[in-house]
Structure 1
Amino acid sequence: MTPERFHKIKSVLQHRQTSLTVVTDGVHKTQNLSALLRTADAVGLDTVHVSLDDKGQYQLHRRTSGGSGQWVDVVLHEQTTQAVSTLRNSGFTICAAHFSAQATNYYDYDFSQPTAIILGAEKPGISDEIAHLADHHLIIPMFGMVESYNVSVAAAIILSEAMRQRVENDLYNQNQMTRHAFDRKLFRWCYPKLADFCDSNNIAYPALDKDGGIIYSEQWTQNVKAINQRE
């Protein structure tokens, strides 16, 4: 871990938007999910919520995702309704990309507030149940013959507008994580294998110095020795 890479990772993490997320409803093609996740990382999303397919599976296309699965947390749900309920209880406004009589243009919505954007698969869109649960319906204006955008393209269009508004409102310069959550994620991003070791053995992460070097305290070293002796 070079100091340059550490400070790059730290800067990216400081701009993460925990109050903006995407929820997929019936989106199961690996390339679509991977492209969506790549866009989410570029925009600075911390988390994306994904509904599992009928087989309870979730998979990314490595080339399309560009490694973004390492930087964006993916929360899996058996049903999209579970994600909606969890996010609403956490204070998110639920917006669905869905054409209806009540729908408004996506750029007229205020994305500076905590928002969850639900996106469905290209042909069927979101389910009627999810459309009913949403607080707002958003549409992307179209002037061609096709009836819809690809889901990953729709995500990029909407999230780009959300990013523009949040930059305008200076939200990217406001750390949205608690100190504890920030420090844990910073360590995990820098040292994922060591973070896995600590988590699996229920020990705290070691501290980091100002340039990302690991500070091996005597207590942490003793804990590791005790673990190795048990094995």
Structure 2
Amino acid sequence: MNKFVHQRHKSPTHLTRPRELIVACVPMRSNVNISQIARTASACAVEKMIICGNASLISKIARDATSELSVSTHRSLAPVLKKLKQNGYRLVGIEQTSNSHNIHDFSFHRRTVLVIGNERLGINDEILNQLDDVIEIPVWGMPHSYNAASAANMALYEYCRQFPQG
């Protein structure tokens, strides 16, 4: 007889304060990626997500995220980021650049907007120039980068690891 009783699903970890993290996605080609990012953002107790262009969530993929996460759609991300920066948010993009920081050595600020790039084109120069920081996730094989949803999920998890109570 097994001495251990395993509980398949546990209740979410209680946060002592709301997360001050916003996920912002540049226009993407794939609603699957957007939906996967939304699902992870919701699991991380992120309350707000910004999407651009013609993106929309696929409810079967995003699942519970649609009720827990406030998603707003904008034509352009640049003016939204400008306002968020004026409101004290630190703008952090996930991208491989000459000045990007390894995510393993990066300390997030509590008030952060995590900017996710396009699957093929990354983050354009207009948005890159607005960012306070750019982080990259090391890659040890081919291709040279993770897909947008995978990279976003890793960065979301790292933020939550650094601020486990919210």
TM-score, normalising length from structure 2? 0.86
Helix, strand or coil for the counterpart of 1:32? Answer: helix
The 5 A counterparts of 1:192-207 are none
The higher-RCO structure (CA 8 Å, 6+ apart) is 2
Question: Against the structure 1 CA distance between its residues 137 and 30, is the aligned structure 2 distance closer, same or farther, given a 3 Å change threshold?
Answer: same
Distance 1:81 1:12 in 2: 33
Look up the equivalent residue of 1:129 and give its one-letter code: E
Residues 58 and 142 (structure 1 numbering): CA distance in 2 closer, same or farther, change over 3 Å? closer
Q: Distance in 1 between matches of 2:64 and 2:110?
A: 28
What is the percent sequence identity of the aligned residues?
25
Between Structure 1 and Structure 2, the one with more helix by share is 1
Does the 8 Å CA contact 2:94/2:152 hold for their aligned counterparts? no
Counterpart pick for 1:76 among 73, 79, 83: 73
Whole-angstrom distance in 1 between the partners of 2:160 and 2:109: 9
For residues 13-35 of structure 1, what are the alpha-carbon distances to aligned partners after superposition, in whole Å with 9 as ceiling and x for unaligned? 86541x11111012242111111
Per-residue Cα deviation, 1:30-49 (whole angstroms, up to 9, x for no partner): 11111100000011101011
Aligned residues: 156
Which residue number in structure 1 is paired with residue 95 of structure 2?
Answer: 98
* Greater Cα shift, 35-44 or 24-33: 24-33
Is the counterpart of residue 130 in structure 1 residue 127 in structure 2? yes
Deviates more, 1:27-36 or 1:88-97: 27-36
Q: What's the counterpart of residue 23 of structure 1?
A: 24
The one-letter code sitting in structure 1 at the alignment partner of 2:59 is: R
In the other structure, the counterpart of 1:65 is: 62
Instruction: Determine helix, strand or coil for the equivalent of 1:27.
Output: coil
- Aligned partner of residue 143 in structure 2, secondary structure: coil
Residues 194-223 of structure 1: CA deviation (Å, up to 9, x unaligned): xxxxxxxxxxxxxxxxxxxxxxxxxxxxxx
Residue 146 of structure 1, CA deviation:
0.3
Shift of 1:109: 2.1
Deviation at 1:58, TM superposition (A): 3.5
Match of 1:86 among 83, 87, 91: 83
Q: CA RMSD in A?
A: 2.0
* Mapped contact 2:108–2:162 kept (Cα < 8 A): yes
Structure 2 unpaired stretches of 5+: 1-10
1:98–1:137 CA contact under 8 A, matched in 2: yes
1:78-124: per-residue Cα shift (whole Å, max 9, x none)? 10102211210110011111211211112322224211111112211
Deviation, 1:76, is 1.7
Counterpart of 2:111? 114
Cα distance in 1 for residues equivalent to 2:141 and 2:17 = 36
Residues 165-204 of structure 1, C-alpha deviations (whole Å, 9 max, x = no match) = 001xxx43xxxxxxxxxxxxxxxxxxxxxxxxxxxxxxxx
The one-letter amino acid paired with 2:73 is L
Match of 1:227 in 2: none
| Residue 142 (structure 1) aligned with residue 126 (structure 2) | no
Q: Secondary structure at the match of 2:129?
A: helix
Query: Offset of 1:133 from its aligned partner?
Result: 1.2
Is the 8 Å Cα contact of residues 20 and 116 (structure 1) preserved in structure 2? yes
Deviations 1:146-168 (A, max 9, x none): 0221111111101111000001x
Kept in 2: contact 1:15–1:44 (CA 8 A)? no
Task: Provide TM-score, normalisation by structure 1.
Answer: 0.63
